[in-house]
Structures are given as C-alpha cells and as structure tokens.
Amino acid sequence: MRNLNSVHLNGLRALEAVGRFGSLQAAADELGVTIGAVSQQIIKAEAQLGRKLFERTSRGMVATEAGLPVLARLGEGFNMLSQAVSVAQRQDDTILTVSIAPIFASRWLVHRLDRFAAGYPDIRLRMDATTQIIDPGSSDVDIAIRVGAGKWPGVKAELLLAQEIFPVCAPALAGRLTAPADILALPAVIDDRAMFTWETWLREVGLSGAAMEERHIFNDASLCLDAVIAGQGVMLAWQTMASYALEHGQLVDPFGIRVRTGFGHYFVTPQGVREPRKVTAFKRWIRDEMAESMRFFA
C-alpha cells in the first residue's frame, strides 16, 4: 500500500466523487468544498497518477478510457471505507434503526409494535419509512425490509414472505361478486407504482386480456387502500397491505384466489458483517408475527 503515499487522499476522494456524479458541482456539494477546490484536486491527482482520467465536455466530466477502470476501483474502495465507518459508529445496542416502506410500516407493522416493546424492552426502534433503497452497509440503518426479487447487489437478502396478490373491496361491493368475471363490472383503483398489473391475477382466473374500468389512479398504495375501504372500487392488494383491514371487516377478499408475483418481502442487512443481537431479535420477532398474521390467509 506504499503507493498510496504518492497520492493525496483528498485527491482520490475528488476523483471518485466526480466520477460518480459526472459533475464538479455535485462533487463539490457532497465534499463540502468549492468547485474550484475540486477542480484543483482533480488536476493534482491526475498529475500524481501520471495520467488524465477525465475529459471536460459540455456534458460534464467524462471519464477517459484510462480513467474508467481507475474510477471503478476507487468507487469500490470508498464504498468499503464508508461501510467500515458505519460499522464503527454503531455503538448503541439499545437503538435499532429499520428502513421500511411506508405502507408496510403503517398497514402492518405499527399495529404490532406494542408486542415488540413488551418482548424487548431494552431495544428502542427508530423507523425510517421511505421508498428509497437504503444500503445498510453504508448508512446508519441496521436492517431494511424491501419488496422485490431479492437480488440487490452488495447486501445480504433473506426472504421473509413471498408476495401474493388478490382483489379486495368494501363489504358493500362484495355482494355483487359471485365469480371472478363479475369483477370486470366494478371500477378499479390503480396503484401506478405497483410492480404488477391486473393481468397477473386475471390470467390466473382465465380472464387474460380482459380490461378493467379504471376509476382512480394514485401514486401511493396506501391511498388506494383508503379509497377501496371507502367503497370507491376494487384493487389488487397483498398480504401485509390488507391483513389488518381484512381482519377488522373493513375489506373483503371475495374469491380467496391469490397469485404469486415472483416478488417478496426480504430482510436486507450488510454483507459480510456479524449480525448484532438487536437485529437477530427483531428478525425473529418479525418472523413470529408474520406467521401469526398469515394464519388469516390459510
């Protein structure tokens, strides 16, 4: 590693940031310095390395052919350094930071948190409700729960629940539904951010290609659910989204026909890091609660 002595660390940080953003301004904002300072660090670093890594163009800073492999390895290296700092800063074993989708938090998790507090009074939960994909290895997040195919790079993903979708509606509308084809007469409430469409379910019941009448379109699944509870139509829901409303009679699953989407809920934790006790405890508790919750769908 003696070759690192010939290049200033600030210069390498500037190279990595500009390579990632393709912009002096964005790199300066992240590093907390001026554009001029970043530009000077780039010039010095290129001189110390003995090669030009960027071309300055009207589209921003573009990596040269020689620069591409250098910047790729710098990105990997600084990502590992960021993870090391995050691990070192996780000193409080009494606070568990969980990154979670807002709808999973509001429609499933919050109704059960009193039981976690009773079972683990020494652990306080800090919920980061966000739709953004957070890397637990390079942030203060201890564990994330994501929905997807489970193939995110650089993290450890463990399946919690395979996602199944099914139509739900208010009890007043359910009386009109005796066979799957009857659903075509009801207006559909659409979540335009969903990772699946009505065709996924309609194909399973022999109605492939049939068109639903779209009444409302939202960019938030929780708003869709509220609209359906209010009797404004039918929507495709999944287990954790609809379980509370189904159990309390706000919604009805008129057919009991559930279709897997190929996605699932996953625990996501840093790769190659020993799992803290608080994370193990939370995962065990979630699995137990999920098993109890899914008995409703058995």
Domain with CATH 1.10.10.10 in the chain: 2-89
Q: What is the pLDDT of residue 89?
A: 57
Instruction: Give, rounded to a whole angstrom, the gap between the first and last alpha carbons of the chain.
Output: 58
Kindly report the CATH number that applies to the domain delimited by 92-298. 3.40.190.290
pLDDT at residue number 3: 65
Q: Find the radius of gyration of the CA atoms of the chain.
A: 25
Q: Domain 2-89 carries which CATH code? A: 1.10.10.10
| pLDDT computed for residue 58 by the predictor | 80
Consecutive 10-residue averages of pLDDT for the chain (298 residues) = 72 90 88 90 90 86 89 85 66 84 94 95 92 78 94 92 97 94 96 94 96 92 96 97 95 96 95 90 97 89
Instruction: Kindly report the average pLDDT of the chain as a whole number.
Output: 90
* Rounded alpha-carbon distances, angstroms, from residue 282 to 116, 117, 122, 221: 8, 11, 12, 25
Q: Which two tokens stand for residue 137?
A: 């290895």
Q: What is the pLDDT of residue 59?
A: 80
Write out pLDDT tens, residues 148-161: 999 998 899 999 99
- Give phi and psi for 30, each to the nearest 5: -70, -40
User: Distance (Å, rounded) from C-alpha 73 to C-alpha 16?
Assistant: 9
Looking at residue 134, its pLDDT comes to 76
Instruction: Give start-end residues of each CATH 3.40.190.290 domain in the chain.
Output: 92-298
Say what the pLDDT of residue 124 is: 94
